[in-house]
Chains A and B, each alone.
Chain A
Amino acid sequence: MSTLRDTLLLANVSRRHFLKGLAAGGALVVAARWSPLLADEPLYGAEAMPNGWVDDPNVFIRIDEDGIVTVVNHRAEMGQGIRTSLAMVAADELGAEWEHVRVEQAPGEEETYGNQNTDGSRSMRHWFAPMRRAAAAARTMLEQAAAQQWEVPVEECQVGVHVVMHTPSGRELGFGELAAVASQLPVPERDTLRLKPREEWRYIGQDESSRKRPFAVDGEDIVSGQAVYGADIHLDDMVYAVIARPPIYGAQLRSVNDEAARALPGVIRIIEIPTVGQPAGFEPLGGVAVIAENTWAAIQGRNALEIEWDVEAAGDNARYDSTQYREQLEEAASSPGQLVREHGDVAAAFNEADSLIEATYYMPHMAQAPIEPPVALARLVDGRAEIWAPIQHPQAAREGVAGQLGLAVEDVTVHATLLGGGFGRKSKPDYILEATYLSQALEGRPVRVQWTREDDLHHAYFHAVSVDHLEAGLDSDGKALGWLHRTLSPSIASLFAPDPMHKQDFELGMGFNTMPFNIEAIRLENPEASAHVRIGWFRAVYNLPHAFAIQSFAAELAAAAGRDHRDYLLELLGPERQIDPRNINESWNYGEDPEQYQVDIGRMRAVIETATEAAGWGRELAEGRGLGLAVHHSFVAYAAVVFDVEINSDGELTIHSADIAFDCGLQVNPERIRSQMEGSIIMGIGIALQSEITAHEGQIEQDNFHQFLLPRMGIAPDVIRVHLVNSSEDVPMGGVGEPGLPPVAPALCNAIYAATGKRIRRLPVGNQLTS
Chain B
Amino acid sequence: MATLTINGQVHEVNAPDQMPLLWAIRDVVQLTGTKFGCGMAQCGACTVHMDGEAVRSCVTPISAAQGREVTTIEAIGEDAVGRRVQQAWLDLGVAQCGYCQGGQIMSATALLKREAHPSDEQIVDAMNGHLCRCGTYTRIQQAIHHAADTEGEDA
| Interface positions of A (Cβ within 8 A of B) | 77-81, 208, 213-216, 218-220, 222-229, 231-232, 234, 240, 265-266, 294-296, 299, 369-373, 418-423, 450, 452-453, 671-672, 675-676, 678-683, 704-706, 710-714, 716-720
> Does A295 lie within 8 Å of B27, measured CB to CB?
yes
Given the interface contacts A294-B15, A452-B39, A705-B131, does A675 sit within 8 Å of B136 by beta carbon?
yes
Report if A223-B32 is in contact (Cβ < 8 Å); known contacts: A371-B43, A371-B99, A679-B96: no
Additional A-B contacts beyond A370-B99, A371-B99 (18; CB < 8 A): A79-B96, A80-B96, A219-B90, A219-B95, A223-B90, A224-B77, A234-B32, A295-B26, A295-B36, A371-B35, A371-B131, A418-B97, A418-B98, A453-B43, A672-B93, A679-B134, A706-B42, A713-B141
Query: Could you say which of B26, B36, B127, B141 has the most chain A C-beta atoms within 10 Å of its C-beta?
Result: B36
User: A225 touches which one: B73, B89, B130 (CB < 8 A)?
Assistant: B73
Can you pick out 9 interface pairs between chain A and chain B where the beta carbons lie within 8 Å of each other?
Answer: A81-B96, A219-B93, A219-B95, A371-B132, A678-B136, A705-B40, A711-B137, A716-B141, A718-B120
Which residues 27-50 in B have Cβ within 8 Å of A in the complex? Answer: 27-28, 30-40, 42-43, 45
Q: Is the interface of B mostly helix, strand, loop or mixed?
A: loop
Contact A231 B36 (CB under 8 A): yes
Q: Which residue of A has the minimal Cβ distance to B27?
A: A294
Given known A-B contacts A79-B96, A420-B35, A450-B36, A295 and B23 have beta carbons under 8 A apart: yes
- A721 and B135 alpha carbons, distance in the complex (Å): 14
Cβ contacts under 8 Å, A294 to chain B? 15, 19, 23, 27-28
A224 to B40, CA, bound (A): 24
Most buried by B among A79, A216, A422, A714: A79
Residue of chain A at shortest CB distance from B77: A224
| Total contacting residues, chain B, CB less than 8 A | 59
- Asked if B64 is at the interface (CB within 8 A of a chain A CB), the reply is no
**Is B123 interfacial (CB-CB < 8 Å)?**
yes
Q: Given A219-B90, A225-B74, A679-B134, does the pair A713, B36 have CB atoms closer than 8 Å?
A: no
Q: Complex formed: what's the CA distance from A334 to B90 in Å?
A: 53
Given the complex of chains A and B, what is the CA–CA distance between A370 and B101 in angstroms? 13
The answer to whether B27 touches A714, judged by C-beta atoms less than 8 angstroms apart, is: no
What 0/1 readout, one digit per residue, does chain B (105-127) give for beta carbons within 8 Å of chain A?
Answer: 10000000000000010011001
A226 engages B74 (CB within 8 Å): yes
Determine the distance from Cα of A680 to Cα of B76 in the docked complex, in whole angstroms: 30
Which among B19, B39, B73, B135 has the greatest number of chain A C-beta atoms within 10 A?
B135
CB pair A671–B93 under 8 Å, yes or no, is yes
CB distance B93 to A675 under 8 Å? yes
Is B100 close to A, CB under 8 A?
yes
Whether B135 pairs with A220 at a CB distance below 8 angstroms is: no
* Given A223-B105, A371-B100, CB of A713 within 8 Å of CB of B23: no
The smallest C-beta distance from A744 to any residue of chain B, in angstroms, reads: 10
Q: How far is the CB of B102 from chain A (nearest CB, A)?
A: 5
CB pair B136 A225 closer than 8 Å: no
Complex alpha-carbon distance, A19 and B120, angstroms: 59
